[in-house]
Amino acid sequence: MLPIIDGHNDTLLAATSDRAGGDFLAERDDPDGHLDLARAEEAGLAAGIFAAFVPNEGEQEDWSELPPAVDHERARRIVDEQFETLHDWADATDRFRVIGDIDDLDACLDGDAVGGIPHIEGAGAVDPELVNLDSLYETGLRSLGLVWSRPNAFAHGVPFEHDATPDIGPGLTDAGFDLVEACEDRGIVVDLAHLNAAGFWDVAETVDAPLVVSHAGAHGVSPASRNLTDEQLDAVADSGGIVGCTFGTAHLRPDGERGKDTELSTLLDHIEYFADRMGVEHVGLGSDFDGASVPEAVGDVTGLRDVLDGLEERGFDRADREAIAYGNWRRVLGEWWR
């Protein structure tokens, strides 16, 4: 069974809030959510990028508008709590480990444990002067999404709109350029998911490392503001980078609907589009488990096997499937990490 590296999940949020998901370590006959340890092992998930995420304060009624920025102190408290939860899971069992370097990742690929890579989705927890970046690194941070779909001191995100372009709003702030350079110096992956077009191009012109977009779809298949245009895909490929294909139905379907009845073929269409445009060596998986509505044909983490089987049926040979399942993520993470 091919091991799998998944580029994005929100399971930490599910475990520390009232979202479906609950206890990651619990053995349950009828589990909630998309991802827990038992199902990860069943699926052959070697490692995933586990996002710490700060929810909005209050209800968001119109998702075509950007939510307000989050308070830094609140963001830091929530991220600390979610990272502590990740480490608690690792302390509780040798079946799960927190990944801090490429050797840890390779051990998980060899089957030693399921691994979690600590990530922050939206840099609101980072002080604008970067004074706490080193302490976040010490607590495990190895990947950082500059934004979620709201602004912060560093960059600007995109609203959740269909039939829309990511080319909206200004690029990185001065603090954003400093953060990107500081992350590259420390070996913290800079994730461009949710970032607007101007910010994307600012990062592309700043880093020497491969461009990483942990979870997104192809704008050429589903014209959502969250998805990547052909020009952005070309830039990722030129950098030697990777795009993790999202499983979120609203960003897969050409009509922009969120229906769980979305067919597996629609997800495969995006992966095939990425491979045709960029080359298979720049394609990965970025499910957004526990953070998005995913097709019933996938269901949960165990459906990753069905995705790989679907790729085989479309003519992706074993080497292609190995690259998409884990090889491309392993290569790119190895190039970023110190």
> Among candidates 336, 337, 316, which has minimal Cα distance to 245?
316
pLDDT digits (tens, 9 = 90+) for 89-104: 999 999 999 999 999 9
Predicted local distance difference test score (pLDDT) of residue 69:
83
For the chain, the straight-line distance linking the first and the last C-alpha, in angstroms and rounded, comes to 29
Predicted local distance difference test score (pLDDT) of residue 326:
98
Predicted local distance difference test score (pLDDT) of residue 56:
83
Question: Which residues are within 8 A (CB) of 139 and not within 5 positions of it... i.e. 6 or more apart?
Answer: 80, 83, 87, 118
pLDDT digits (tens, 9 = 90+) for 225-248: 999 999 999 999 999 999 999 999
Higher per-residue pLDDT: 59 or 295? 295
Q: Is there a contact between 79 and 85 (Cβ–Cβ < 8 Å)?
A: no
Q: Is there a contact between 49 and 117 (Cβ–Cβ < 8 Å)?
A: yes
pLDDT digits (tens, 9 = 90+) for 180-216: 999 999 999 999 999 999 999 999 999 999 999 999 9
Within 10 angstroms of residue 224's Cβ, the number of other Cβ atoms is 28
Least confident of 62-71, 118-127, 261-270, 282-291: 62-71
Predicted local distance difference test score (pLDDT) of residue 183:
98
Mean pLDDT of the chain: 95
Residue 261 has pLDDT above 60, yes or no: yes
Integer Cα distance of 305 and 36 in angstroms: 16
Confidence of residue 57 (pLDDT cuts 50, 70, 90): confident
pLDDT digits (tens, 9 = 90+) for 307-334: 999 999 999 999 999 999 999 999 999 9
Predicted local distance difference test score (pLDDT) of residue 19:
63
Residue 155 has pLDDT above 70, yes or no: yes
Integer Cα distance of 206 and 168 in angstroms: 20
pLDDT digits (tens, 9 = 90+) for 264-295: 999 999 999 999 999 999 999 999 999 999 99
Residue 59 has pLDDT above 70, yes or no: no
Integer Cα distance of 284 and 214 in angstroms: 8
Residue 63 has pLDDT above 60, yes or no: no
Burial class (CB in 10 A: 0-12, 13-18, 19+), 174: exposed
Integer Cα distance of 54 and 78 in angstroms: 6
Q: Is there a contact between 176 and 199 (Cβ–Cβ < 8 Å)?
A: yes
Predicted local distance difference test score (pLDDT) of residue 62:
62
Integer Cα distance of 330 and 232 in angstroms: 22
pLDDT digits (tens, 9 = 90+) for 162-181: 999 999 999 999 999 999 99
